[in-house]
Amino acid sequence: MRLKCLYIVLSAVILSSCVSTKTAHKSYDLINIDIETVSDKLSNDRKYLRSLSGRFDFSYSTASERKQSSAYIFMTAQDTLYLEIKGVVGETEAVLFIDRDSLKADNYMDNLKIRDKFSEGSLKRITGINMSVSDLRNTILGFDPASAEMSIKESGGTGLKARAVHDSLRYDIVLMDKELNITEITEFRERDIISRRQYDYFTSEKGVMFPRRIRINRYNPPEKLTIFFTNVKINSYPEISE
């Protein structure tokens, strides 16, 4: 498996965890709810989640290929990111580790080793993902309502639809259930759909609701990622081998 696998897995985790950490099991009155209540709920979720770790299986497919593998990830709200990709029989194929100002990466399949100073462009350099490390961390640790202007479009007894505007071109349509767990995000650029992310099989860990399954579809070019977390830990020590 080549370094592209890092792109596949990190892309999945980026898009999956960005909206899926939810605290408490409170049902809301969606008929009379206001956007301030929604924003406060999302903000509190984000503040509570100081770190996340988990093991997951994933599949990635395009029109011409399909890949399946597993991985482990650990991330803190401040300065640490660790990603370990496993092969089909459990051997470690690649490791990415960022800690404060240092960067370490090994791809054992390609005999690639990198030791360098951390920069916000480290992820792009290693994986090809056009995203800064801060953006990745903010995405994984929860949807940030301060990053967009949100408004409620529709609300009913079992669900809510909100619009999150990022700038004059980009906005999201966000679906939530009655506990304000985000179940779907459709990303738009002007009138074009860029991606759709769906979240289900929610589980509770230390008061945080987290979706074990994430399905991600991109449309230009067409790609599909499905992730299933077999283990999730919130605000716990990592399981990182020496």
| Most confident by average pLDDT, 18-32, 117-131, 178-192 | 178-192
Contacts for 112-118: CB closer than 8 Å, 24+ residues apart: 112/3
Least Cα distance to 87 among 108, 111, 103, 105 occurs for: 108
Between 166 and 112, name the one with better pLDDT: 166
Q: Is residue 71 part of a domain?
A: yes
Please tell me the pTM assigned to this model.
0.79
Q: Is residue 222 part of a domain?
A: yes
> What proportion of the chain, given as a percentage, has pLDDT over 90?
22
Instruction: Give 61's pLDDT tier (boundaries 50, 70, 90).
Output: confident
Taking residues 49-70, report their average pLDDT: 84
The Cα 59–Cα 125 span in angstroms is 23
pLDDT for residue 62 is more than 50: yes
Give tens-digit pLDDT for 148-173.
899 999 988 789 999 999 999 999 99
Q: Is residue 198 part of a domain?
A: yes
Q: Is residue 101 part of a domain?
A: yes
Q: Is residue 61 part of a domain?
A: yes
Q: Which amino acid is at 200?
A: D
Q: Which amino acid is at 183?
A: T
Least Cα distance to 142 among 13, 22, 4, 10 occurs for: 22
The Cα 145–Cα 150 span in angstroms is 7
CA distances from 143 to 40, 55, 110, 126 (A): 11, 21, 35, 25
Q: Give me the CATH number covering residue 47.
A: 2.50.20.10
Q: Report the pLDDT value the prediction gives residue 13, as an integer from 0 to 100.
A: 52
Q: Is residue 228 a contact partner of residue 199, using CB atoms and an 8 Å limit?
A: no
Q: Report the pLDDT value the prediction gives residue 95, as an integer from 0 to 100.
A: 85
Q: Is residue 242 part of a domain?
A: no
Give tens-digit pLDDT for 71-89.
898 988 777 889 888 877 7
Q: Report the DSSP pairing between strands 208-219 and 192-205.
A: antiparallel
Q: Report the pLDDT value the prediction gives residue 74, as an integer from 0 to 100.
A: 92
pLDDT for residue 22 is more than 80: no
Least Cα distance to 140 among 238, 53, 237 occurs for: 53
pLDDT for residue 16 is more than 80: no
> What proportion of the chain, given as a percentage, has pLDDT over 70?
80
Between 156 and 134, name the one with better pLDDT: 156
Least Cα distance to 72 among 90, 59, 89 occurs for: 90
Q: Is residue 150 a contact partner of residue 164, using CB atoms and an 8 Å limit?
A: yes
Give tens-digit pLDDT for 137-154.
665 666 777 778 999 999
Q: Is residue 240 part of a domain?
A: no
Q: Is residue 239 part of a domain?
A: no
Show the tokens assigned to 135: 């953006």
The Cα 161–Cα 222 span in angstroms is 25
If one counts the domains in the chain, the total is 1
Q: Report the pLDDT value the prediction gives residue 18, as an integer from 0 to 100.
A: 46
Residue span of the structural domain in which 112 resides: 4-234
The Cα 163–Cα 189 span in angstroms is 13
Residues 6+ apart with CB under 8 A from 151: 35, 162, 163, 165
Give the relative orientation of helices 133-140 and 4-17 as an angle to the nearest 10 degrees. Answer: 50
